[in-house]
Amino acid sequence: MADVERHSYDVVVIGAGGAGLRAVIEARQRGLRVAVVCKSLFGKAHTVMAEGGCAAAMGNANPHDSWQVHFQDTMRGGKFLNNWRMAELHAREAPDRVWELETYGALFDRTPDGRISQRNFGGHTYPRLAHVGDRTGLELIRTMQQKIVSLQQEDHAATGDYDARVRVFAECTVTELLKDAEGRIAGAFGYWRESGRFVLFEAPAVVVATGGIGKSWKVTSNSWEYTGDGHALALRAGAALINMEFVQFHPTGMVWPPSVKGILVTEGVRGDGGVLKNSENERFMFSYIPPVFKGQYAETEEEADRWYTDQENNRRTPDLLPRDEVARAINSEVKAGRGTPHGGVFLDIASRMPAEEIVRRLPSMHHQFKELADVDITAEAMEVGPTCHYVMGGIEVDPETGAASVPGLFAAGECSGGMHGSNRLGGNSLSDLLVFGRRAGLGAADYVQGLGHRPRVAEADVTAAARTALAPFDPAEPATAENPYTLHTGLQQSMQDLVGIIRRADEIARALDVLGALRARIRNVAVEGHRQFNPGWHLALDLRNMLLVSECVARAALLRTESRGGHTRDDHPSMDPNWRRTLLVCRTDGGDESIPDVTVAPEQQVPMRPDLLALFDFEELAKYYTDDELAEHPGRRP
Ligand code: FAD
């Protein structure tokens, strides 16, 4: 039997980003014993990197804002494919979650009269993003960690042990979820990154909050941890993934120098007045307002500029169209030969605002460009282009509780699916983490408290998980063993080239062939050395997750014969109302236990509640819905 360190908890939260920490707080406040496990250092997660802000209809910058308008914007941004109940809960609860953070010690930027300041972002009708300069995510994580420390101090006062009810397991990677004989979650298995020692968490409930999948693409804003682990863990445990074909390419990543290609340039630059220009100095976004948004955006530069100071009487600038639209527009400009020397477009804030104002509002961006590209953004334009940023697809959950279809399994944050439909609006992730992190923590707590008897982990499953983890040290065919870095480069290149921002059936089919070949090669991956901090081994284990998730993306992308949000098919360029009500659901279907086969099947969406549908004009809905779906709409003319 493998040497395994063992722990027993009520709830194990995998991931210490915003969603994970908010779930921890909630489950601990319900009196449960919680472990939080994270692959990197505690406090280092994508949430920390979030710059622009957290969307919540507080109405501080514009009193006309409300949860209903936020809900409408979110559904529009997602091209009406969103799980409408999640979008409703999110819009209703986000303001309370932001306020609650201030009770934990957060301090958001203020309006002159002392209310939480809110900034403009793409797709949001009103200034809505609560922010702390361009370091909002850092403040979010800092205050949730502070809250956890204060809970641990309470626990110490009560029991003499800081870790009595919440313990952090940092730099510890979970590789497998374990179930009992009844198919319920019984625990999670992983390893300490430094020592390579195995660790088992026995727990009846697991909240997966592992974030994104961006490391399967070559140009990405995502950092090394984002290999789709939670998506793959849940899939292998029997849960379903939805919307996996929808991957967001953020329009503005750095394009130069090559070593930093893909690093994000926050949308806050455009929200605060920055504009996109091509090599002919033209503000090209006016030529890319799609029919579904016609009439909602300014059609002249003069109106767009007036909008920054007078939003009542002017329409917003098309520089702030939803991200999918802007990313495609940039792609087209570069393809048409109007790109910058390094293959992007220009993002100009220097000519639009005094230097000291730029440094005050966007300190991180100023620092990032100075340090990484030797560009002073107060004096010259930035060069930017699309970068793989966010996955809308994820684990299918119950909106109220975050429960996945496997008893005891919960998910929240970027690794869950449904909330953002086919495209996420900027700022809606931080609010999503808070709203659904809390709900998943609560859902897990209720589940555990309602359990008759605790599930037990089978020793054979622990042995099998250890064997799978050790396989790269002992490849089946040593003579033809594969290098994990070579395999990763191959996977990233084919996803970038063949399942990227613009897709075609023949290219996706080629990608699936490459992934099929990689599947066999990953089984024979080999690493050198020992289990003590061995990055090659870590990557070898992450690879099977990246492969599974990439297959889900590619298979779903091939099936969806339309273009919508973060899925653009060159061979099916229009949006098809019949596809709007269809979700593509990925599940495993036999094959190898370690890298099982993936199937994708269509499933019908639950129709939107009539009172929510009535929030939209009939004319707008008619652009997205089939005629029969709108038969009962009150705005329908006889
Ligand atoms: P994350 O914050 O990504 O955390 C995931 C956690 O899971 C980490 O702790 C990681 O170590 C852990 N983990 C992963 N796999 C494992 C494993 N196998 N075992 C153990 N632990 C594991 N959104 C906004 O709303 N506004 C913004 O301004 C904004 N700006 C952004 C800027 C950048 C550069 C990036 C990359 C994203 C930005 N986003 C923004 C998106 C947003 O930050 C993320 O979607 C969000 O933070 C995801 O939060 P999460 O809690 O789901 O996961």
Give the span between the Cα atoms of 477 and 461, in whole angstroms.
25
What number does the ligand 1 atom closest to the CA of 20 have? 51
Same domain as 542, residue 446: no
* Residue 421, domain member (yes or no): yes
**Which atom of ligand 1 is least distant from the CA of 415?**
52
Element (DSSP H or E) covering residue 360: helix 355-361
Q: Which domain holds residue 415?
A: 2-245+391-458
- Ligand 1: distance of its center to the CA of 416 in Å? 12
State the pLDDT at residue 88: 98
Same domain, 359 and 335: yes
Element (H, E) at 521: helix 505-523
Contact 117, 61 (CB under 8 A): yes
Predicted local confidence at residue 268, as pLDDT: 84
Is there a domain that residue 352 lies in?
Answer: yes
Closest CA to 431 of 144, 138, 90: 90
> Rg of the chain's alpha carbons, rounded to an integer?
24
Instruction: Looking at the CA of residue 264, tell me the nearest atom of ligand 1.
Output: 34
Residue 509's pLDDT is 98
Q: Name the domain boundary from 347, 369, 386.
A: 386
Determine if ligand 1 sits within 6 Å of the CB of residue 417: no
How many other C-beta atoms lie within 10 A of the C-beta of residue 559?
15
> Which of residues 577, 594, 627 is at a domain's end?
577
Q: Is the CB of 16 under 6 A from ligand 1?
A: yes
CA neighbor of 384 nearest in space, from 329, 426, 336, 340 = 340
Task: Please give the pLDDT value at position 1.
Answer: 58
Residue 323 among the catalytic residues: yes
Q: Which atom of ligand 1 is nearest to the CA of 40?
A: 11
Q: Can you give the pLDDT at residue 593?
A: 80
Q: Residues 440, 500: one domain?
A: no
Ligand 1 near 140 CB (within 6 A): no
Strand runs labelled E in 403-470: 409-411, 416-417
Please indicate, yes or no, whether residues 564 and 624 belong to a single structural domain of this protein: no
Residues in Cβ contact with 614 at an 8 Å cutoff, skipping those fewer than 6 apart? 633, 634, 635
Among candidate residues 501, 508, 592, the one with its CA nearest the CA of residue 548: 592
Q: For residue 162, is it within any domain?
A: yes
- Overall pTM > 0.90: yes
Tell whether 73 and 131 lie within a shared domain: yes
For position 529, which CATH number holds?
A: 1.20.58.100
- The closest residue, in CA terms, to atom 23 on ligand 1 is 429
Nearest protein CA to atom 14 of ligand 1, as residue: 210
What are residue 482's DSSP bridge partners?
A: 525
Query: Do the domain assignments include residue 589?
Result: no
What b-and-e string marks burial along 525-536, b requiring 16 or more CB atoms within 10 Å of the CB? Answer: bbbeeebeebee
Q: Are 552 and 417 in contact (CB under 8 A)?
A: no
Domain stop point among 458, 490, 514: 458
Cβ–ligand 1 distance for 429 under 6 Å, the answer yes
* 194 and 336 assigned to the same domain: no
Q: Is the CB of 45 under 6 A from ligand 1?
A: yes
pLDDT the model gives residue 637: 73
Query: Do the domain assignments include residue 603?
Result: no
Secondary structure (3-state) at 195: coil
Check pocket membership of 414 for ligand 1, CB cut-off 6 A: yes
Low-confidence ranges of the chain (pLDDT < 70): 1
Minimal CA–CA distance to 247: which of 504, 564, 23?
564
The answer to whether residue 595 is domain-embedded is no
| 598 CA distance to ligand 1 middle (Å) | 25
What would the two tokens of residue 52 be? 């622009």
Residue 211 exposed, middle or buried by CB count within 10 Å (0-12, 13-18, 19+): buried
ipTM, two decimals? 0.99
Cα distances (Å, whole numbers) of residue 479 to 34, 186, 515, 519, 538: 45, 39, 22, 18, 22
Are 82 and 96 contained in the same domain? yes
Same domain, 374 and 239: no
Looking at the 3D structure of the chain, how many domains does it have?
4
Answer whether residue 121 is part of any domain.
yes
Q: Is the CB of 18 under 6 A from ligand 1?
A: yes
105 CA distance to ligand 1 middle (Å): 21
How much is the pLDDT for 352? 93
Output the domain CATH number for residue 451. Answer: 3.50.50.60
Task: Report the distance separating Cα 241 and Cα 600, nearest Å.
Answer: 9
Cα separation of 480 and 138, whole Å? 45
Instruction: Report how far ligand 1's centroid is from the alpha carbon of 398 (Å).
Output: 21
Looking from the CA of residue 51, the nearest atom of ligand 1 is 28
Residues 239 and 279 in one domain: no
**590 in any annotated domain:** no
- Catalytic pick from 28, 184, 323, 328? 323
Contact 35, 201 (CB under 8 A): yes
Say whether both 573 and 613 belong to one domain: no
CA of 240 to the centre of ligand 1 (A): 21
How far, CA to CA in Å, does 104 sit from each of 100, 147, 435?
Answer: 7, 6, 15
Whether residue 221 has its Cβ less than 6 Å from ligand 1: yes
Q: Whose CA is nearest to atom 38 of ligand 1?
A: 50
Q: Are residues 84 and 159 in the same domain?
A: yes
Cα 210 to ligand 1 centre (Å): 7
* pLDDT given at position 127: 94
Q: Do both 237 and 255 map to the same domain? A: no
3 state DSSP class of 499: coil
Q: pLDDT per residue over 118-137, tens digit each? A: 998 889 999 999 999 888 99
> What is the helix (H) or strand (E) element at residue 194, kind and residue range?
none
